[in-house]
Amino acid sequence: MTQAYVLTLSCPDRLGLVHAVSGFLLEHGGNIEEAAQYNDSATGLFFMRVQFGCAQHDHATLSEHMASFAQHHQMHWSLHATAQPMPTVILVSREGHCLNDLLFRWKSGLLPVDIRAIISNHRDFYQLAASYNVPFHHIPVTAATKAQAEARQYEIIQAENAELVVLARYMQVLSNDLCTKLEGRAINIHHSFLPSFKGAKPYYQAHDRGVKLIGATAHYVTADLDEGPIIEQDVTRADHTDTVETLTARGRDTESQVLARAVKWHSEHRLLLNGHKTVIFR
């Protein structure tokens, strides 16, 4: 029976890499369905994503052969079977627009994820979680309990075998320790007003200054607050007729769309890290 796989890899660039990868897949019964590659002349690195079908080997056997092949080419690689959607845990606080959007897209079959748990430092969305039959974990966070709260969060993430953690407007700063544990598998979303309008009510501050562009950034979580590798960004225009309410609504729509695209690309294994940047095979 033919199984679908996605192979992603990066390595020092050299002649014949596309030929070598396609030859390896042919030798092992792989039928390439989609392929994309990128050569970064600034770093001398080669990046590739290949989607293929294979009936000759199972995942474990393919991985074993790939490990030997990759070692020869100094490749960092991963091989994913696409039959199962990506196990995902969502963290949220009191703004639910991104959470609601992700849940709807998931249940509508628009995102290849399996949302296994929602974690929040407030109780606001337990009914929303229940309506989608998703376990809801209320874990309050204070300065005194932050370490214990994060330990419990990570315990849930590990228990659900989450390959992706989404901070869908989770308004708590993660510790360096948790950021390290979630490196490369946690995505955050924030508005585009940083660093100009920090703190509470950024849309009120932006309206007061008469901004003409509002937007959002989705990025991987790192210990450097809001400075992880950027995945996706978008903007929408504003003008003098906008109220705080319309400005906020437009900003929330943009945040939801940007986060959904980032989650989709990650769960389809279209993202590769390139130092402080990302390579995205859309």
Average pLDDT over all residues of the chain: 94
pLDDT at 202: 77
Catalytic residue among 13, 226, 234, 253: 226
Q: How far is CA 112 from CA 48, 183, 225, 266, 268, in A?
A: 21, 21, 28, 10, 7
Q: Residue 200 and residue 191: Cα distance in Å, rounded?
A: 12
The stretch 100-107 carries a mean pLDDT of 98
The stretch 245-267 carries a mean pLDDT of 95
- Tell me the pLDDT tens digit for each residue of 211-226: 888 889 999 999 887 7
Q: Which residues on adjacent β-strands are paired with residue 215?
A: 235
- Tell me the pLDDT tens digit for each residue of 44-99: 999 999 999 999 999 999 999 999 999 999 999 999 999 989 999 999 999 999 99
Query: β-strands 136-138, 113-120: how paired?
Result: parallel
- Collapsed DSSP state (helix, strand, coil) of residue 121: coil
Residue 44 CA neighbour count, 13 Å, CB half? 3
Vertex 126, ends 105 and 155: CA angle to 5°?
A: 90
Q: What is the pTM of this model?
A: 0.93
Q: Residue 169 and residue 160: Cα distance in Å, rounded?
A: 21
| 27 closest CA partner among 65, 1, 64 | 65
Q: Give Cα 214 distance to the centre of its chain.
A: 22
Question: What does the CA dihedral 118, 255, 273, 178 come to, rounded to 10 degrees?
Answer: -40
Query: Length of the chain in residues, anyone?
Result: 282
Is the CB of residue 91 less than 8 Å from the CB of residue 170?
yes
User: Is 226 among the residues known to form the active site?
Assistant: yes
